[in-house]
Amino acid sequence: MSQVTELKSHPLVSHNLAILRNKNSDHHAFRTAAHRLSLMVIISATESLRTIEHSVETPLKTTHENVLAEEIWFIPVLRAGLAMVDVGLGLMPDAHVGFVGLFRDEATLTPKHYYKNLPDFTSMEHDCYILDPMLATGGSSCAAIDLIKSHHARNISLLTLISAPEGIKEVFAKHPDVSIFTASIDEELNDQGYIVPGLGDAGDRYFGS
Ligand code: PRP
Ligand code: URA
C-alpha cells in the first residue's frame, strides 16, 4: 500500500504549522497549535474507518446512520505522542489507549525502548493509530510498529505532524502495509538528525521542558 497523505495544502494546517515552527511560540501557543493540527490529521486518517449501518429514531422518524464497527486503539509513542492522545479521545471517547515508550539516543540516533503497555490484538477487530508528532530517521516509528506487530496488530496507521522524507522512506521500506498521515513533509534531516525546517525538539517544546 505505502500511502502517505500530507495535509499542508489546507489553509488551517499551514496556519497552525506556522505557529508550531516559530521559535518564538511559547509552550502554550505550541501546545494549542499541536492540538489543532492533531485534530486535522486524526480526522483525515479516520476517513476510511469501517462502519455498520445503524437505525436511529429521531423525534420525527426512524433513519439510518453508519456507526464505527471496530475497536479503535490510539498508541502514543512516549513522550511527545502524548500531545495527540486527548485530541483523539475527544473525537472518539470509546477508543482504547496503548503505550510505547521510546527515546532516541542523541549520539547514535537509534531508539531505546523503555516501556510498553499493549494488548494482544489477535482476536480483536481493530484499527491502530500510532501517534508521534515527529517522523525523522524513522527509527522510533519502525521500532513502535515492530512492537505493535509483535502483539499481532493489523490495520496500522502512523499519524505525525512533521515528517522527513528519509523517515517516510524507512517506514515504507520496513512496513509497506502501514499508511502515514502527516501535516507536513519537510525538506530533509540535518546531520544531527533534526528535521529541517522542522520545529526543533517536539517533546521539549510541547511540555515546556
Ligand atoms: C522524538 C519524536 C520521535 C523521535 C523521532 O522523540 O517524538 O519519537 O524523536 O525521531 P526518529 O524518527 O529519528 O526516531 P524523542 O526521542 O526526542 O523522545 P521524547 O518524545 O521523549 O522527547
Ligand atoms: N525529534 C524531534 O523532536 N525533532 C526532530 O526534528 C527530530 C526528532
Query: Taking the model in full, what pTM does it have?
Result: 0.97
| Three-state secondary structure readout of the chain | CCCEEECCCCHHHHHHHHHHHCCCCCHHHHHHHHHHHHHHHHHHHCCCCCEEEEEEECCCCEEEEEEECCEEEEEEEECCCHHHHHHHHHHCCCCEECEEEEEECCCCCCEEEEEEECCCCCCCCEEEEEECCEECCCHHHHHHHHHHHHCCCCCEEEEEEEECHHHHHHHHHHCCCCEEEEEEECCEECCCCCEECCCCCHHHHHHCC
Ligand 1 neighbour 139 (Cβ under 6 A): yes
Q: In the chain, what are the domains? A: 3-53+64-207 (3.40.50.2020)
| Ligand 2 pocket, residue 198 CB under 6 Å | yes
Best residue among 135, 195, 209 to mutate for probing ligand 2's pocket (most ligand atoms within 8 Å of CB) is 195
Ligand 2 centre and the CA of 192: distance in Å?
10
From first to last of its 209 residues, the chain has per-residue pLDDT tens of 679 999 999 999 999 999 999 999 999 999 999 999 999 999 999 999 999 999 999 999 999 999 999 999 999 999 999 999 999 999 999 999 999 999 999 899 999 999 999 999 999 999 999 999 999 999 999 999 999 999 999 999 999 999 999 999 999 999 999 999 999 999 999 999 999 999 999 999 999 99
Report CA(103)–ligand 1 centroid distance (Å). 6
**How many angstroms separate the alpha carbon of residue 153 from the centre of ligand 2?**
26
The span from the CA of 124 to the CA of 106, in Å, is 37
